[in-house]
Amino acid sequence: MGVTKTEIFTEQQNRIADLAKAFSHPARVAILQLLISRKACVCGDLVDELELAQATVSQHLKELKRIGIIHGEINPPRVCYCINPVVWAEAQQTFGSLLDTFALSESCCN
């Protein structure tokens, strides 16, 4: 089995890949959309809203927190989650810049 060698890539390339992971699974996209639609921190009702198993939601929240695109505040007995606006802006800028580097008129495979 191959080994991921992230050290051979630039810090920027690794960060772009990390940010992309936030959008690479439909459950994570659904979580992000829910948090955005609420325009506030969401406490505890993500499982009910998404109709996914608690373990599934927890795993995706853990990954989104690791990436930094969401953050959680512990409010016993619950954890409240919301979008991290700084990292969201970073993702917008990063993907915009990456996508802007290719002009559709430059396609070599017409």
Residue 81 lies in a domain: yes
Residue 110 has pLDDT above 60, yes or no: no
Helix (H) or strand (E) holding 60, with range, is helix 54-67
The alpha carbons of the chain give a radius of gyration, in whole angstroms, of 17
Q: The domain spanning residue 63 has which CATH number?
A: 1.10.10.10
Residue 29 lies in a domain: yes
Residue 24 lies in a domain: yes
Give the span between the Cα atoms of 106 and 110, in whole angstroms: 9
pLDDT in tens, 50-82: 888 889 998 999 999 999 999 988 777 778 899
| Total of domains in the chain | 1
Instruction: Look up the domain containing 52 and give its range.
Output: 8-90
Residue 105 lies in a domain: no
Residue 97 lies in a domain: no
Q: What is residue 14's three-state secondary structure?
A: helix
Structure tokens at 79: 């954890």
pTM confidence score? 0.84
Q: Which residues contact 11 (CB under 8 A, 6 or more apart)?
A: none
